[in-house]
Amino acid sequence: MSYKKMADTIVNKCLKVSKKDVVIVSTYQHTVDLAEEIAATCFDREADVLMTLDTDRVFYHHLHVLPESNLRQTSAHCMGLSRYSTVNIFIGGPEDPKPMSKVPPGKYAALFQGEQPHGDYMRKQKIRIGYLGIGVVTPQRAEVYGFDYEKWKRVVAAASAVDPAEMRKFGNKLKRILDRGKHMRITTKAGTDLSCDLGNRKGFVFTPTLTKANMEKGLFGVAIPAGDVSIAPIEKSVKGKAFFDVPQPSIGKLVEEMRWTFKDGRVKSFTAKKNVKAIKGMWDKGHGDKDRLAWVSFGINPKGKVGFLENYLAMGAVTLGLGSNDELGGKNKSDAGASASMSRATVEVDGRVILKNGKYTI
């Protein structure tokens, strides 16, 4: 997908920018060309546009020199922009993740804690948010995580070009099953055996389109690429164990063979074969319901592939998340979280198999 087409998609089709909008386009140094195209497309719609630039040097420098107490404070700049903007578009993140592993986990945790009031305020103000995943597809990140850069780039481009209506049709079918369901069981041959109740919770379909149904529930964000159906289970009902066969990239490390064990609705064991601290180090510093299952997500993007950063949207992938889930109708409140994916799960809803060894049966 060309930058011009990507800009047209996010501005006109996803976020439906108009001359009434005040738009913030946030970019890093390696995505300036795309940011310029997006800003120009917004101006074509007669919107008021501000483009902001971050750089790897500034991002890592502020993490190194500022104490946790400072990072924990919500940025006045972010809050100020949110008070008058109506659309925020974010393009990726740092170009090179190598320095991430040299930052103490407590600083990342503090940064996320400081950002939480900003995120909450944006939802309260109903600010429309767009995120373009192509910004994190860089040769440097591919080298750090051991990805095939050219293949990764092709996968993200293909997943970004999938017709949202195609995904939404299948996603709504899956959502109806989850909406009616009362009990879910997830198993894998590798060792997962997890069960939870769904109660009267409802599923949410996420594609690169803002839908009326999601906006009515306070969900104003879209991403390119996208494609998943998520539901928040009854938190206290979760029990069993989860094994994640898909490596999870995190702050410059690849976390391999992660395992969670739940008892009485809470995580009692959080381990991995390799690099567990890259996720658990930040998670340990969090507060609130960080140890409760927040959501279960089902990938529905037919061009998505596991093995990169966008594991959750690959067709048939099952992803679990810990932490806050109030925006999905759950009860968890937390300033920390974690997530990981499995590629060959079998899922039953009220005894009906809807996914078998990573393939949908519906």
Q: Give the integer Cα–Cα distance in Å for 228 and 361.
A: 16
CA-CA distances (angstroms) from residue 301 to 10, 47, 51, 80, 166? 17, 31, 30, 36, 9
| 218 band by pLDDT with thresholds 50, 70 and 90 | confident
Three-state SS at 276:
coil
| 112-124 confidence digits (pLDDT tens) | 999 999 999 999 9
Measured over the CA atoms of residue 92, residue 96, residue 99 and residue 101, the dihedral's sign is positive
Q: Which CATH class is domain 3-136?
A: alpha beta
Measured over the CA atoms of residue 340, residue 10, residue 335 and residue 300, the dihedral's sign is negative
Residue 213: the pLDDT is: 85
Residue 212: the pLDDT is: 86
Do 283 and 267 touch, CB atoms closer than 8 A?
A: no
Helices (H), strands (E): how many in the chain? 11, 20
> Could you say which DSSP state residue 303 is in?
T
Do 338 and 312 touch, CB atoms closer than 8 A?
A: no
Strand partners, 271: 259
User: How much of the chain, in percent, has pLDDT values that exceed 70?
Assistant: 100
Does residue 216 carry a pLDDT above 90?
Answer: no
In the numeric block, which tokens belong to residue 83? Answer: 């008070």
The residue that leads in pLDDT, 213 or 168, is 168
Closest CA to 160 of 323, 19, 343, 1: 1
Torsion of CA 219, 224, 227, 231, to 10 degrees: -30
* Matching residue, tokens 């078998």: 356
Every domain range in the chain assigned CATH 3.40.1830.10: 3-136
Q: What is the mean pLDDT of residues 270-285?
A: 96
Per DSSP, helices labelled H in 203-335 are 212-216, 277-284
Q: Supply the pTM of this predicted model.
A: 0.94
Closest CA to 321 of 287, 349, 359, 290: 290
Computed over every residue of the chain, the mean pLDDT equals: 96
| 217 band by pLDDT with thresholds 50, 70 and 90 | confident
Residue 11: the pLDDT is: 97
Three-state SS at 104:
coil
| 43-100 confidence digits (pLDDT tens) | 999 999 999 999 999 999 999 999 999 999 999 999 999 999 999 999 989 999 999 9
